[in-house]
Amino acid sequence: MTAELNKKPGLETLRAAISRLEGHSDRRRKMLPFGVREIDARLPGGGLALGALHEVAGGGNDALHSAAAGQFCAGIAARTRGKVLWIVTRQDVFAPSLKQVGLSARRTIYVEARSDVDVLACFEEGLRHGGLGAVVAEVARLSMTASRRLQLAAETSGSLGIAIRRWRRQTDAADFGQPTASVTRWRVSVLPSVSLPVPGVGRPRWLLELIRARAGECADFEVEACDAKGRLAPCSPIADRLSLPAALADRPDQEAAGQRRARA
Amino acid sequence: MVLSVDLAARKLGLRPGTPVAKAQALHPDLVLLDADPEGDRLGLEKLALWFQHRIAPIVAVDAPDGLVLDTTGADQLHGGELPMLKDMVHRMAGAGFRAKAVAADTWGAAHAIARYGRAPIAVVPPGEIAGTLADLPLEALRLPDTIIDGLATLGVSRIGPLAAMPRAPLALRFGPDVARRLDQAFGRMGEAIVPVRPVDPVEVSRNFAEPIGAAETIARYIGRLVPLLCQGLDERGQGVRRLDLLLHRVDSRTEAIRVAMAMPVRDVRRLTRLLCEKIETIDPGFGIERMVLIASLAEPMDRRQTVSSLIAEEEVDVSDLIDTLANRVGTQALYRFAPVESDLPERSFCRVPALASEETKDWPEHWPRPTRLLARPEPVQAMAELPDQPPLFFIWRGVRRKVKCADGPERVFGEWWKNDAELTIARDYFRVEDTSGERFWLYRAGDGEHGETGSQGWFLHGIFG
């Protein structure tokens, strides 16, 4: 234990020296924690780095629809401040659903670009601006060069960039194996929802795979999907065993949402 | 002399050129109005300004009865040349004018075909001017009457034979005009369009002793003109909404760059950047000898009070980003969604401009909504108990999915106040989860009991995350 403590200052100076060499400024990177202990502990810095590019793709059929991946990103964007730019090539986002994870339609500006090239250009423009909370772009192909440009743009302005990788055909999804300059890479797959004691669909659950994290390790998490404020929740085994709906075993604002639903 | 007739008079057999006395003798109750060339010219100028506002920066009056536009680069913004012309004619018809519109490579050709061609709307493909012009009368060439009469004496009445005649005797007999007009119509000689100018705009210009052509040089001079313009705007307390940069080339053609802003702007850096991004779209030819920067649409700009640090954090202004993106992808591709009061999901939202004022309404949050809404509900095969049970299984895109649990029905009725046919229509929406955990939004067209409420078929409308 003492040895570890003694080692740490040296490690810190070394890290600082490396980051200076890499050209990062001295100011500390800001983080956006998920608020879920298991996930934040696995991410270097204790959260999703702002001023960086992140990649998210759907698993299985969701690689085509990106429904879970989209919801996951909307949840992240909802927890940032300022406007959100959402860049697509074909528009099929259903705005009321983003509202339900806390991303208001007043904050979200959509750009419908004609091609992937335009998407990347707008993406970079949005990241460079620096006044946006998050920039989300749905893009199929993301080359090393393109992602490096985006990463640099995000680093200089401090904006959060999320690339939703979305393909037209299932076979194209193999492209996700190619290396890019993004800081983290996630795959979101749907899991059966929390089972309820009554007929109905419970709170959705996702399998979050952290496929790549710069200066971190890969990990898998099972989580309950974003709530009305865009926060994830760990799958609670107690709630599962007792077959309690997540809404009841959860935080007060979930209860409020549950009541709203019950009133409806 | 009757100069112009309306549709009713044309039906009575009157034509321009008939002596007034004769026309009155034919139809004693004819309504005659004195010609007002000055008024016509002013009207045309107003119309030209309107076209400049709508279509392209370079618009001029083609007296006495026409307008000429340089639409290079502007047609893409209106969906192509033909739709653009249709839109122009349609708008003129809406204002009560019968107009003809022709797009051609040269002013001369477009002038001739618009006045003497048959079709009200025509696009002459590049390289086909000669063939199209050959059959038109000489009047189409914008020549003085004396020359036309003289040529008629020689037995020439069409452009085709005239173009085939040897030049030298023609020039000797009628002067240089014939050859000049022919060359202008066929595109062998350039013709400058001197655009109309909005009333009293803020405008700065610069002449070059040596023509410039390199992109960097153009960018440098844009960088010098913009501060002058902003100074001018500052004096008037205005900001610019639309900025035209006209580049006069040595061969007397004019190239134009147009940028539009969502809000009045007076920021030197921002305007310079927007203009410089478009440099690659212009063709400097043999060089540019004059640059004119016009604030063609300026609006009052009031200073905004900045938020002090005591109050909540300042909202970051993103209008500059919006302008940059809009000039790249087009204004209509940049939007927000706003709620519309409708229970039908596909009608529950509309697109509003990105910087539109924020609405106070919001969508109800009683029911979960899918992340992705299919553009068109896709029919699925399903088996369900009637009248209001969710399906037991369904087949979508060839995959059979067994339903594990479901929420619903959420009944949505047709909007009979919009469409009579929707009076009896109903839809029952279900959120279903299949055994693998994927969640879908299905609906049945109809209430499951009454045939008139819909086909009772099942459709997939959205996908949940």
B-chain residues near A65 (CB < 8 A): 372, 463
B-chain residues near A80 (CB < 8 A): none
CA distance linking residue B267 with residue B133, whole number of Å:
49
Mean pLDDT (chain B, rounded): 86
- Alpha-helical regions (H) of B304-397: 319-329
CB B373 within 8 A of CB B461: yes
CB A84 within 8 A of CB A77: yes
Amino acid (one-letter) located at B397: R
Minimal C-alpha gap between A10 and chain B (Å): 38
Q: What angle do CA B178, B182, B187 make, to 5 degrees?
A: 150
Reply yes or no on whether the pLDDT at B281 is more than 50. yes
Q: Return the higher-pLDDT residue of A29 and B87.
A: B87
Q: Does B270 touch chain A (CB under 8 A)?
A: no
Confidence of residue B312 (pLDDT cuts 50, 70, 90): low
Minimal C-alpha gap between B268 and chain A (Å): 17
Residues whose CB is less than 8 angstroms from the CB of residue B362 and which lie 6 or more positions away in sequence, other chains included: A99, A104, A105, B339
**Inter-chain residue contact A192 with B433, CB threshold 8 Å:** yes
CB A213 within 8 A of CB A183: yes
pLDDT at A252: 47
Mean per-residue pLDDT for B161-181? 87
Of residues A111, A205, A206, nearest to B325 (C-beta): A111
Per-block average pLDDT, block size 10, for chain A (264 residues)? Answer: 56 79 63 90 88 92 90 93 92 91 91 91 92 92 93 91 90 86 93 88 92 89 90 71 45 50 50
**Lowest model confidence (mean pLDDT) among A117-131, B77-91, B165-179, B305-319:** B305-319
Share of chain B above pLDDT 70, in %: 97
Q: Does A257 touch chain B (CB under 8 A)?
A: yes
Of residues B335, B372, B375, nearest to A70 (C-beta): B372
Task: Write out the H or E segment, with its range, that includes residue B353.
Answer: strand B349-353
Handedness of CA A243, A248, A249, A254 (dihedral sign): positive
Which chain B residue's Cα is nearest to A97? B369
**Inter-chain residue contact B406 with A201, CB threshold 8 Å:** yes
A-chain residues near B336 (CB < 8 A): 105-106, 108-110
pLDDT at B394: 94
- Hey, which CATH number is domain B1-35, 2.40.50, 3.40.1170, 2.60.40, 3.40.50? 3.40.1170
Span B438-465, pLDDT tens digits:
999 999 998 888 888 888 999 999 999 8
Of residues A96, A118, A121, nearest to B363 (C-beta): A96
CB A167 within 8 A of CB A186: no
pLDDT at A145: 94
**Inter-chain residue contact A109 with B370, CB threshold 8 Å:** no
**Inter-chain residue contact A105 with B338, CB threshold 8 Å:** yes
Mean per-residue pLDDT for B183-195? 83
**Inter-chain residue contact B321 with A125, CB threshold 8 Å:** yes
Reply yes or no on whether the pLDDT at B194 is more than 70. yes
Q: Does A251 touch chain B (CB under 8 A)?
A: no
- ipTM over the 0.85 cut-off: no
Residue of A152, A176, A204, A174 lying closest to A55 (CA atoms): A176
Using DSSP's 3-state secondary structure scheme, residue B289 falls into strand
Mean per-residue pLDDT for B214-227? 91
Of residues B338, B371, B431, nearest to A67 (C-beta): B371
Using DSSP's 3-state secondary structure scheme, residue B416 falls into coil
Q: What angle do CA A103, A108, A109 make, to 5 degrees?
A: 170
Confidence of residue B199 (pLDDT cuts 50, 70, 90): confident
**Inter-chain residue contact A97 with B465, CB threshold 8 Å:** yes
Amino acid (one-letter) located at B230: C
Minimal C-alpha gap between B12 and chain A (Å): 53
Residues 55-94 of A with CB under 8 A from B: 60-62, 65-72, 74, 81-83, 85, 92-94
pLDDT at A188: 94
Confidence of residue B36 (pLDDT cuts 50, 70, 90): confident
pLDDT at B304: 61
pLDDT at A23: 63
Burial class from Cβ neighbours inside 10 Å (0-12, 13-18, 19+) for residue B313 reads exposed
pLDDT at B105: 86
Span A136-159, pLDDT tens digits:
999 998 999 999 999 999 988 889
Span A20-43, pLDDT tens digits:
777 655 455 688 999 888 899 988
CA distance linking residue A51 with residue A61, whole number of Å:
30
| Strand B334-339, strand A108-112: pairing | antiparallel
CA distance linking residue A52 with residue B53, whole number of Å:
42
Span B334-370, pLDDT tens digits:
999 999 988 889 999 999 988 888 877 888 888 889 9
Residue B137: DSSP 8-state: B
Cis peptide before B64 (omega within 30 of 0): yes
Q: Does A114 touch chain B (CB under 8 A)?
A: yes
CA distance linking residue B379 with residue A165, whole number of Å:
27
Q: Return the higher-pLDDT residue of B3 and A193.
A: A193
Partnered with residue B353 across adjacent β-strands are B335
CA distance linking residue B36 with residue B58, whole number of Å:
26
CA distance linking residue B240 with residue B268, whole number of Å:
11
What residues does each domain of chain B span?
Answer: 1-35, 40-186, 202-300, 372-463
Which chain A residue's Cα is nearest to B399? A61
Burial class from Cβ neighbours inside 10 Å (0-12, 13-18, 19+) for residue B17 reads exposed
A-chain residues near B462 (CB < 8 A): 94
**Inter-chain residue contact A105 with B465, CB threshold 8 Å:** no
B-chain residues near A125 (CB < 8 A): 321, 324-325, 328
Of residues B317, B362, B367, nearest to A131 (C-beta): B317
Minimal C-alpha gap between B324 and chain A (Å): 8
Span B62-75, pLDDT tens digits:
877 888 888 887 77
- Hey, which CATH number is domain B202-300, 2.160.10.10, 1.20.1250.20, 3.90.1310.10, 3.30.1490.100? 3.30.1490.100
Q: Which two tokens stand for residue B209?
A: 């002793």
| Strand B101-103, strand B121-123: pairing | parallel
Other CB atoms within 10 Å distance of the CB of residue B452: 10
Q: Which two tokens stand for residue B223?
A: 């960088």
Q: Return the higher-pLDDT residue of B50 and A257.
A: B50
pLDDT at A260: 53
Q: Does B438 touch chain A (CB under 8 A)?
A: yes
Partnered with residue A190 across adjacent β-strands are A206
Share of chain B above pLDDT 90, in %: 19
CA distance linking residue B283 with residue A238, whole number of Å:
71
Reply yes or no on whether the pLDDT at B111 is more than 60. yes
Other CB atoms within 10 Å distance of the CB of residue B299: 14
pLDDT at A5: 46
CA distance linking residue B8 with residue A256, whole number of Å:
71
Q: Which CATH superfamily is domain A27-234 in?
A: P-loop containing nucleotide triphosphate hydrolases (3.40.50.300)
**Inter-chain residue contact B336 with A106, CB threshold 8 Å:** yes
B-chain residues near A70 (CB < 8 A): 371-372, 465
Tell how far CA B173 is from the center of its chain: 46
**Inter-chain residue contact A111 with B329, CB threshold 8 Å:** yes
CB A127 within 8 A of CB A40: no
pLDDT at B305: 56
CB A66 within 8 A of CB A119: no
Residues 216-245 of A with CB under 8 A from B: 225, 228
CA distance linking residue B379 with residue A54, whole number of Å:
36
Reply yes or no on whether the pLDDT at B146 is more than 70. yes
DSSP per residue, B71-119:
-TTTGGGGTSHHHHHHHHHHHHHHTT----EEE-SSHHHHHHHHHHSS-
Confidence of residue B24 (pLDDT cuts 50, 70, 90): confident
Q: Which two tokens stand for residue A11?
A: 């490690």
**Inter-chain residue contact A106 with B370, CB threshold 8 Å:** no
**Lowest model confidence (mean pLDDT) among B182-191, B195-204, B209-218:** B195-204
Residues 63-122 of B with CB under 8 A from A: none
Q: State the greatest distance between any 2 C-alpha atoms of chain A, in Å, as a whole number.
A: 60
Burial class from Cβ neighbours inside 10 Å (0-12, 13-18, 19+) for residue B239 reads buried
Using DSSP's 3-state secondary structure scheme, residue A198 falls into coil
